[in-house]
Structures are given as C-alpha cells and as structure tokens.
Amino acid sequence: MSAKRFTIKPWLIVGLLLVIPTSLFTAIELLTLSDQEEVIESIYTDQLESVLYSINQYADDVSNTWIDNIYKELIPSDHSETFESYPADVPQIESFILHPIHDSSLNLDNFQIKNDSLQTEIKAQLLANETSIAQLKRYLKSGYRKIIGLDLEYHKHLSMLVFLSKDKELYYLNILLINAQSFISQAMAPRLQMVAGEDLIIVVRHNKTNELIACSLLNEAPEDVVKEQTLWLLPDYKLGIKPKGISISDLARDRARQNIGLLILVDILLLAGAWLFYRNVKRELHLAKVKSDFVSNVSHEIRTPLALISMYAETLQLGRLKDDTKRQKYYDIIYRETQRLSGIVNNILNFSKIESGRQKLTFGRVDINQIVDEVCHNYSYHFREKGFSVDQQLDESLPEIQGDNQAITECLINLIDNAIKYSGDTKAIHIKTGQSGNYQFLQVCDKGIGITEKEQKHIFEKFYRVTKGNLALHAKGSGLGLSIVVHLVEGHKGKIELESKEGEGSCFKILFPINNQTKQK
C-alpha cells in the first residue's frame, strides 16, 4: 500500500507564518493586560511628575523676576541696616526686607520691622531654619541664588521667600513676604491653564485646610488626584494633577486595544505586501517573456533586410547583371532595406535613450504639413510596392508651431509603419492635419484589423504587440513604436488619442499645443 503524499499549499504556509505569530502576540497582550496597566501607570506617573516640576520651576522663575526688578528699583546704595520696603507694582508682595548678617552665623539681634508680632514670628522661623539658610550661603558662593519658602502663622495666606545676597564681604538676608493665595490665583493660574491643556486637571489646595486655591477647570475641581506634591516655594500648599476624562486602567485598556488594532493592521499590510510581491513577480516574469519575444522579433526583423542586402549586394559584386534596369532595381532594393534596417536601429536607440533619460528634444519652428509631404514622398516607393493607396487631407492654413522636427517625423513614420503592418485586404491609409482648439493634430487612419477595447489599454506600453489573428502574428515588430511615440508627444506637452474598432481599422491622432513655449527637454 503506497502512502499518499501530503503537500502543503504555499498560500497556507504564508498564512500560518502570518497568523500564528500575531495570534500568539495578541493572546499575550490580553493575558498581560494588568502588567501593562502597572507599567503604563508608572510611566504616566513619571510624566505627571515632570508636569508638576515644570509648574514649580515656573513659580521659581516668577519669584526670581520679581527679585531682579526689586534690586533694580528699590535697593538703596547704603543698606547696612535692616531695610523694609513695599513694592507698589507687584500686588502679591506684601513687603520686602533686607537685613545684613555675618558670614559665620545668623545674626538677628538688630532685625526690626514695623509689625512686632510678625517680626517675632519671622525671627523664630529664620532661627528654626538656620541650617537651610547656611546652605543658601554655599549656593551663593557657587554662583547660584536659591530661594526657600517658609510658613508663617501670622496670617493664613502669608508666606515668606528667603534668599541671600552679598555686597563686598557682607551677606544680606532677603525676605519677600507674599500673599500666597494671590500669588497662586493670579501669577500661577495662567501657567496652570496652559500646562493642563485639554488632557489634564491641575489643582492647588491649602495643606492644612484643604481649601481650593486654584484649578485649571473653570467650573469644578476634582476631590481626588493621581499625583500630588508640595509647592517648592509655598510649603503650605499642595499641587495635584490627574488626567481628564479617563482613568489609568481605561488608558491601559485603550492601549491594549490599540496594540491589537495595530496587529490587525500589520496583518493586512503583510497580506497586501505578499499580494504585491506576487503581482510584481508575475509582472517581472511577464516582462521577461516580453523581452525574450522582443529579442526574437527584432532579430527576425534585422535578419530579413540583412539577408536581402547581402544577397543583392553579392549578385552585384559578382557582376552577373548585364541589364542596367535590373541593376538599378537591385540598388533600389538594397537602399530600401538599408532604410528599413536604419529605422529598426533608430527605434531601439531611441528606446534606449528614453529608458536612460538621455532623450533630448530640440525645439524650433515646425510645419506639420511639410513633415507629412516629406515622409509620404520618401515612402512613396514603399507604398507602391505594398499596394497601398495614401490619401492626404492637409489643412493648408495651419501655422508653424514649436516642436522637434525629427521627433514629429519619427512619430509619423511609426504610425504609418503600424498602419502598413496591421492592414488586411483593404490597403488604404488616410493622413489628415488640422486644428482642434488650442492644438494642431496629425491623424493617421487605416482600414486594418483594428484593436479590441481590452488591448487599447495596453497598446502604448513598451514591448506590447497585438497578437490576435493570423495577420497580427505575421506582422513582426519590436513593440516599441507606439511607446516611443507617446514619449515624444509628451515631450511636446501634447497628447495622443486612439479610435479603433475590431475589424474596421484604427485612427491615431497626435495633438501638439499651438502655444507650446518649451524650448528644450
């Protein structure tokens, strides 16, 4: 008993390679959803901390700006004693106090301000934070002015900002008494709104009373926050933040859904890529076959005129012809076949230039009717030999246009050559010129086999040849003629139109713009 051979389809292998990895990854995504929530929460918390840091830094920047302005406007040249001032241009500042101190210790014996009760509390707070103030000296020696905030019980919303300055060898204790509530609601509120944007809610509350001082929301403030920290300069106040409209868990789930959606998208893209790969391979195989046919057809076309030229030239060389009329006929045949061979080579060279981007058009004044007359005259013997009648209908009123004479000539020759190749029993060619709107046109019609609608979509592609019917099979060619025509016409900013019906013939119309100002391409 022979075992049945088991084969796996290629599309099944590709499907398994795509589906199994993505399915496993999707399952892992679902199973590790809680772990992802923790990771996302950690990342999000770090982001919230960076937001809080930026707000604290902004408060520090505002305070430093105030201090710089005070030193420019209020500090007298001689301030060896305690100095107290009330800046009028900053309503959040209650007063500014400047007191000299010794380098070795915090000397407050001569510290005096107008309010005795407030003076007592300030001195108590300064002495209680002597270590922190000593640290300010070390900051100052290193070139950095650091500000610290201290609480005051004298008034619920009164806080003091302390920093040191130095003049020559003497240190000065600088104290800003500020209305913290006004500072937060006025100076910091715009920053809170800007940082919060559309995604966050930021609130500021009093640490002890939980009183709401400011909020980025206009209507209401949340009771719970995700992340909270004390303001650097105002230790009596806490800054809280939370995302707007979505919880961390919801955010994690949305992230998981997005990942799954991306996996599906990747699957689709992979399948699309596989399909495009298959299509391109199929196209390349077809192109390889077309190129092979092209080489075969061109070889045949070149071999035929070469064989005729060789045969008649050998006959003439051996001197076998005594009749001058017959000898002249052989010369004519050799000349025609040489011209035919030259046309084949020119087409190949033109195509090579087009493919490499080296095709250049030289523009000048061109008379289309003159081109038609010259080509028809040069082809007159060829027409007679093939039994073709050629009818010309030329519009003599056409003006000259800007164009490349040689390129337009090649276009007409290619169209006439196609008309000859694909004509059946009715061997008639009609050539017409005229004007249509802003274009001059050159039209070549035949009564040949015609072109089906399906083939009309491909006929201007390189290497493409009509292969339907016996006549088309016998009409050899390179399949380059019409693709070259299209390129040359586009170089003139023109267009080409085709009207054809199977069994009734074809009409190719080339349109050149009358006002074409292009000089060279």
**Cα→Cα distances 299→248, 295, 396, Å:** 74, 6, 41
pLDDT value for 316: 77
Per-residue pLDDT 10s for the chain (521 aa) are 444 444 555 555 555 665 566 666 666 665 665 566 666 667 667 777 888 888 888 888 988 888 888 888 766 555 567 777 777 678 888 888 888 887 667 888 888 888 888 889 999 999 889 888 889 888 988 888 999 998 888 788 888 999 998 887 788 889 999 998 888 888 888 888 888 888 888 888 888 888 888 888 876 777 777 778 888 888 888 888 887 766 666 666 676 677 667 767 776 776 676 677 767 777 777 677 666 666 665 665 567 677 777 877 877 777 777 777 777 877 777 877 787 677 667 666 666 665 555 567 778 898 999 999 988 888 887 788 888 889 999 988 888 888 888 888 888 888 888 888 888 788 899 999 999 888 999 999 998 888 887 777 777 776 666 655 544 444 555 566 777 788 888 888 888 888 888 888 889 999 999 875 444 44
Least Cα distance to 366 among 343, 411, 395, 398 occurs for 398
Contact 455, 482 (CB under 8 A): no
With the C-alpha atoms ordered 484, 486, 489, 490, is the resulting torsion angle positive or negative?
A: negative
User: What is the Cα–Cα distance from 399 to 244, expressed in whole angstroms?
Assistant: 73
Last residue of one domain, picked from the residues 211, 245, 279:
245
User: What is the Cα–Cα distance from 449 to 501, expressed in whole angstroms?
Assistant: 8
Count of H-run helices and E-run strands, the chain: 14, 16
Least Cα distance to 102 among 177, 164, 148, 176 occurs for 164
pLDDT value for 434: 92
Flag whether 331 is in a domain. Answer: no
pLDDT value for 433: 92
Chain CA centroid to CA 28, Å: 34
Flag whether 196 is in a domain. Answer: yes
Q: What range defines the domain where residue 494 resides? A: 360-513
Which pairing describes strands 401-403 and 439-446: parallel, antiparallel, or unpaired? unpaired
Least Cα distance to 441 among 389, 487, 387, 508 occurs for 508
Least Cα distance to 516 among 446, 440, 456, 442 occurs for 440
Flag whether 484 is in a domain. Answer: yes
pLDDT value for 263: 66
Q: Maximum distance among all alpha carbons in the chain?
A: 144
User: What is the Cα–Cα distance from 205 to 197, expressed in whole angstroms?
Assistant: 20
pLDDT value for 20: 65
pLDDT value for 472: 46
- DSSP states along 275-293: HHHHHHHHHHHHHHHHHHH
Token output for 475: 């009409």
Least Cα distance to 177 among 115, 122, 96 occurs for 96
pLDDT value for 521: 43
Residue 141 CB: number of other CB atoms within 10 A? 10
Residues 224 and 367 in one domain: no
- DSSP states along 351-378: HHHHHHT----B-EEE-HHHHHHHHHHH
**Cα→Cα distances 199→221, 295, 311, 315, Å:** 14, 67, 89, 95
Flag whether 287 is in a domain. Answer: no
Last residue of one domain, picked from the residues 217, 245, 273:
245
Contact 179, 94 (CB under 8 A): yes
pLDDT value for 351: 60
User: What is the Cα–Cα distance from 52 to 44, expressed in whole angstroms?
Assistant: 12
Question: Does residue 241 sit in helix, strand or coil?
Answer: strand
Tell me the CB-side half-sphere exposure of residue 503, using CA atoms within 13 A.
0
What total of structural domains would you count in the chain?
2
Flag whether 46 is in a domain. Answer: no
Residues 92 and 237 in one domain: yes
User: What is the Cα–Cα distance from 344 to 450, expressed in whole angstroms?
Assistant: 23
User: What is the Cα–Cα distance from 205 to 256, expressed in whole angstroms?
Assistant: 35
Is the pTM higher than 0.75?
no
Chain CA centroid to CA 520, Å: 31
User: What is the Cα–Cα distance from 462 to 347, expressed in whole angstroms?
Assistant: 12
Could you list the beta-strand ranges (E) of 281-328. none
User: What is the Cα–Cα distance from 461 to 282, expressed in whole angstroms?
Assistant: 17
94-106 pLDDT tens trace = 888 888 887 667 8
Residue with tokens 């003159």: 370
Last residue of one domain, picked from the residues 191, 223, 245:
245
Least Cα distance to 333 among 304, 376, 371 occurs for 304
Flag whether 18 is in a domain. Answer: no
Amino acid symbol at 30: L
Flag whether 507 is in a domain. Answer: yes
User: What is the Cα–Cα distance from 154 to 158, expressed in whole angstroms?
Assistant: 7
Flag whether 300 is in a domain. Answer: no
User: What is the Cα–Cα distance from 415 to 376, expressed in whole angstroms?
Assistant: 12
pLDDT value for 250: 67
Contact 237, 231 (CB under 8 A): yes
Burial 351-369 (b: 16+ CB within 10 A, else e): beebeeeebebebeebbbb
Can you give the CATH number for the domain in which 400 is found? 3.30.565.10
User: What is the Cα–Cα distance from 84 to 99, expressed in whole angstroms?
Assistant: 9
Contact 347, 484 (CB under 8 A): yes
